[in-house]
Amino acid sequence: MMDGVGSFGAGRTGSTIDPITFAKQPQTILRVLSWIFSLVVFASIVNEGYYNVGSERLYCVFNRNADACNYGVFVGLVGLLACSFFFMLDYKFSSISSVKDRKKAVMLEIGFSGFWTFLYFVSFCFLANQWSRTKKEDLPLNQGADAARAAIAFSFFSIITWAGLTARAVQKYLLGTDMTLFTTEHMDGGAPTQPYPSNSPGGGTTETTEAYQSPPFTENNAAPTYQVPIY
């Protein structure tokens, strides 16, 4: 038996993963939302986060502070790549046979998700502060304003989703090896499968009784009764 069976809430090692069930899991939903939010933060700043005024030099829409734009691009891009990596890790988690490897994967997720929650909190505060200091005359025709607001808003949304991922990872870690007795059906909420095959094709247990039969040669071959002759 492999030492990673049922550890850290992943069910039995090597069990078949149902894509529909996997997609409905709260952790998967949070992961997809985090991926989308990171994409919005990254794309908003890269596409419309810079402007120029009468020259080829580009200025950041956040109070002309290049550090604000660079920080937003960095957090969004790395968050986007990290979501893709952890998404594949979630899908392949049940195939990891070693308890130690599963523990390392969960601890890595806890550390990264918690750290990225903090970085998105810094991103939200930093971008919002620089946007509040931006002068209207610095943005001709309100150029890049929508992108700046989108980056700030989705940085805030990312705090919620990454915090949720951190909580889910902590919950998975606390389960530890207590789930060794559970199979994938238990984790999915379905009824557990019958451990032993049934006696009948329908799956039910049948009990067969046979009528009592007397042992052979007890009636037909019984010795004849001897009668004393009368004289």
Nearest to 106 by CA among 164, 171, 162: 171
* Cβ-contact 94, 13 below 8 angstroms: yes
For 56-60, 115-119, 194-198, which range has the lowest pLDDT when averaged over its residues?
A: 194-198
Structure tokens at 226: 């001897």
Q: What is the mean pLDDT of the chain?
A: 78
Structure tokens at 109: 């997720």
User: Average pLDDT in the 121-127 region?
Assistant: 97
Looking at the predicted structure, is the pLDDT value of residue 144 above 60?
A: yes
- How much is the pTM? 0.69
* Cβ-contact 116, 33 below 8 angstroms: no
Q: What is the pLDDT of residues 152-198, one digit of tens each?
A: 999 999 999 999 999 999 998 888 755 543 344 434 444 444 444 54
Looking at the predicted structure, is the pLDDT value of residue 29 above 80?
A: yes
> Interior CA angle at 180 toward 83 and 114, to 5°?
30
Question: Residue 196 burial by CB count (10 A; 0-12/13-18/19+): exposed, middle or buried?
Answer: exposed
